[in-house]
């Protein structure tokens, strides 16, 4: 049974758009105060859990990659600007990330796949996506103390650049 | 200790191969797309030379150029990439890329310290050409997001290599090494422009 849990754990690592949002949010959280980081993480975990549960009842999300890329782009720009963001905005961004990632992490109900196995996979996703964000926020927090946070801002620029180009490609494909 | 790492490697490999098709995303193509994007800039020496030059120039100019130039480059490069994706024609892409090596390499070898805004505008201008070349190839990638993440990370690592070379200027011999690398980049630029390289 643990096999299903581990499969869930790998999911956020195999979806580039999820990984990009987690990286950008982790970098942004690392630029904030410890109390803001803690609050945001709690809100994120709660949002992710709810969204994963909702995948069992809600229909598939349309254009999820587009929404995830817009969020990654916004987060990347905020990382480059290195602003101290107020709590309400950072909580909103954390909730948005958790809902988008959660709702986009649907486990297809294949014939013969028990509900318990599906929930175990969803638990794996919640565990790894939360652990990953916490680790990234922690690394970013300490990286910000080195060389005035240059590395964090440079990684933020990479995230922004990658998101912008793929976003343009998706929009171009949608329009044409 | 060696055995422990070996065991960990097997466990990771096992988890990777245990993937079933019960996912909305299978992850198929993501790793291949990433590797293809990551290795893409390494196949073009004209790109490598310019990326490294941006890093060295940033380190030469000191703060805030050391972080500003490597931030400006990928962001503006992405705008160039958007032009390539949209198929908007931009003349002189290849000469522009070659000239970027000549100009940036010359600034380093001659130890020119332009004002920050001049350096940023120069780097941004050249980034458009580099981004356009990458962006034009993006629609053909199997997994565009993984591809773009791969090549943007590779670009950043080349900048970091340049910054590391530029940081050698703390020592007198290091200054010579960094300026020599700048000279090699400028000469290579002439080679790319004339078609010798």
Neighbours of A118 (CB within 10 A): 20
Q: Check if A81 contacts B (Cβ < 8 Å).
A: no
Interface of B with A in 13-32 (CB under 8 A): 15-16, 18-27, 30
Interface of B with A in 109-138 (CB under 8 A): 131, 134-135, 138
Our count of domains for chain A comes to 1
What is the sign, positive or negative, of the torsion defined by CA atoms of B64, B66, B67, B68?
A: positive
* Residues of chain A contacting B23 with CB distance shorter than 8 Å: 11, 14, 107-108
The pLDDT tens digits for B28-76 are 466 677 788 788 777 778 888 988 999 889 988 888 888 889 889 989 9
pLDDT range class, residue A62, cuts 50, 70, 90: confident
Give A115's contacts (C-beta < 8 A, 6+ positions apart).
none
Instruction: List the domain boundaries for chain B.
Output: 29-194
Averaged pLDDT of chain A: 90
Write the Ramachandran bin of A58: left for phi over 0, alpha for psi from -120 to 50, otherwise beta. Answer: beta
Domain residue limits at A72: 2-175
Chains A–B, number of C-beta pairs less than 8 Å apart = 126
Strand ranges (E), B28-165: none
Q: Check if A107 contacts B (Cβ < 8 Å).
A: yes
Does pLDDT of A156 surpass 50?
A: yes
* pLDDT number for residue B45: 83
Q: Check if B143 contacts A (Cβ < 8 Å).
A: yes
Q: Check if A60 contacts B (Cβ < 8 Å).
A: yes
Nearest to A105 by CA among A71, A68, A150, A145: A68
What is the sign, positive or negative, of the torsion defined by CA atoms of A25, A26, A30, A31?
A: negative
The pLDDT tens digits for B102-161 are 999 999 999 899 999 999 999 999 999 988 888 777 777 767 878 887 877 888 888 888
ipTM: 0.78
Does pLDDT of B25 surpass 50?
A: no
């Amino acid at each position: 049974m643990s096999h299903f849990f581990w499969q869930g754990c790998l999911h956020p690592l195999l979806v580039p758009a999820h990984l990009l949002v987690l990286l950008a949010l982790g970098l942004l959280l690392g630029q904030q105060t410890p109390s803001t980081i803690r609050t945001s993480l709690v809100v994120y975990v709660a949002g992710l859990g709810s969204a994963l549960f909702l995948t069992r009842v809600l229909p598939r999300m349309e254009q999820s990659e587009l929404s995830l890329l817009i969020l990654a782009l916004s987060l990347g720009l905020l990382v480059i600007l290195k602003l101290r963001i107020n709590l309400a905005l950072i909580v909103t961004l954390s909730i948005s990330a958790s809902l988008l990632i959660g709702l986009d992490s649907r486990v297809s109900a294949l014939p013969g796949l028990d509900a318990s196995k599906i929930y175990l996979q969803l638990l794996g996703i919640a565990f790894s996506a939360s652990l990953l964000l916490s680790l990234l926020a922690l690394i970013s927090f300490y990286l910000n103390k080195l060389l005035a946070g240059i590395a964090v801002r440079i990684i933020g620029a990479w995230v922004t650049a990658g998101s912008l180009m793929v976003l343009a490609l998706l929009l171009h494909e949608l329009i044409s | 200790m060696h055995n422990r790492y070996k065991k960990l490697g097997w466990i990771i490999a096992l988890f990777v191969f245990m993937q079933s098709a019960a996912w909305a995303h299978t992850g198929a193509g993501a790793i291949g797309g990433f590797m293809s994007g990551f290795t893409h800039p390494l196949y073009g020496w004209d790109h490598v030379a310019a990326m490294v030059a941006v890093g060295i120039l940033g380190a030469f100019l000191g703060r805030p150029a050391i972080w500003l130039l490597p931030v400006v480059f990928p962001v503006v490069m992405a705008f160039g990439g958007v032009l390539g994706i949209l198929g908007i024609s931009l003349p002189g892409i290849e000469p522009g890329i070659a000239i970027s090596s000549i100009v940036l390499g010359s600034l380093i070898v001659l130890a020119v310290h332009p004002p920050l805004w001049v350096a940023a505008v120069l780097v941004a201008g050249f980034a458009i050409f580099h981004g356009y070349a990458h962006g034009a190839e993006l629609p053909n990638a199997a997994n565009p997001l993984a591809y773009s993440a791969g090549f943007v990370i590779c670009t950043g690592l080349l900048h970091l290599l340049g910054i590391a070379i530029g940081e050698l200027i703390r020592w007198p011999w290091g200054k010579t090494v960094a300026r020599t690398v700048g000279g090699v980049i400028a000469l290579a630029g002439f080679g790319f422009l004339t078609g010798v390289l």
